[in-house]
Amino acid sequence: MTEIDRRRRAGFLLGVGAYALWGVMPLYFKALAGVPATEIVAHRIVWSVLFLGLLATIARRWPAIRTAVTTPRVIMILIATALLIAVNWLVFIYSVVSFHLLEGSLGYYLNPLVNVLLGVVLLKERLTRAQIFATFLAAAGVAVLAAGAGSGLWISLTLAATFALYGFVRKVAPVDALEGLFIETVLLAPFAVFYLLWLERAGTLAFGHLGLTTDLLLALGGAVTAIPLLMFTGAARRLPYSTLGFLQYIAPSLQFLLAVLAFGEPLTTPHLVCFAAIWTALAIFTLDGWRSAARARAARA
């Protein structure tokens, strides 16, 4: 086995692991169903700062962090991405605890298509005929869901838009995943701490009042946040983009199965039509991407 093969195998395992963890993460949030989504997000931010700070110390990444925080352009970008990821976390946790995980998984199925639209609108990229057809097919599926069972559609659209914009903006920040996520959570931490103190003063704070199990689960929020993201970063450095793009469907597929089989959420006809349209559109995009990559390899050869 060559060095390239070993790197790709390691990248594949890291990618599968990252998306599998994201796929089963609703089980973690479901165990915190007695805690408001806003408090879960606040704990996730605070404990992420501590966990990522420990990782930064072990990995000796503080010089890179200092460089990033003293660069105005980087800080402005990370302020924007911090707000986007905070909204994404809040809406996703809400989708789990409010029995709208189907809409949550739909949001992450839509994410690749939103990325394509961002490329067309902001980067002036051109779509093939197959990609144009797939985009309209996905839009038709969303329209059916909006017309027939659209009460939770805002969850899908918010998750797709915030995560796509987060990834798009994050790409232009010259900072690695660990340093970037640490700075993002540090920027959000004052608001999270203030909110938790306000809850404590109001007598509604869950932490310290709902038992040791709840406290431990909330404290694990930092590791739950950071570990799959760091695994994803490792995979992204080792795998071709097309392979990584295919793996990203693991997470929403697992969430879809959890919603229907484990959480008993109703799968309505509009849901089925919408998901069928999205899955078909994604299959068209995937096949078209593989064909384009094959043609490019043949041209280089």
What would the pLDDT profile of 180-215 be if each residue is shown by its tens digit? 889 999 999 999 999 999 999 999 999 988 889 999
The total number of structural domains that make up the chain: 1
Residues 272-292 have pLDDT tens digits of 888 888 889 878 877 887 777
Whole-prediction pTM value?
Answer: 0.84
Intra-chain end-to-end CA distance of the chain, in Å: 23
Query: pLDDT-based confidence at 149, cuts 50/70/90?
Result: low
Which pLDDT value is given to residue 28?
94
For residues 250 and 15, give the distance between their C-alpha atoms in angstroms, rounded to a whole number. Answer: 10
Higher per-residue confidence, 151 vs 29? 29
Mean pLDDT of 289-296: 73
> Long-range contacts made by residues 26-31, C-beta under 8 angstroms, separation at least 24?
26/96, 26/101, 26/104, 26/255, 26/258, 26/259, 26/263, 27/258, 27/262, 28/217, 28/220, 28/224, 29/93, 29/96, 29/97, 30/96, 30/97, 30/263, 31/217
In terms of residue numbers, what domain contains 31? 3-300
Residues 233-281 have pLDDT tens digits of 778 777 766 566 677 888 888 999 999 999 988 888 888 888 888 889 8
For residues 131 and 150, give the distance between their C-alpha atoms in angstroms, rounded to a whole number. Answer: 25
The helix-helix angle for 177-202 and 72-97 (nearest 10°) equals 60
Would the pLDDT of 220 be above 80?
yes
Residues 111-140 have pLDDT tens digits of 877 877 777 777 777 778 887 888 888 888
Which pLDDT value is given to residue 243?
66
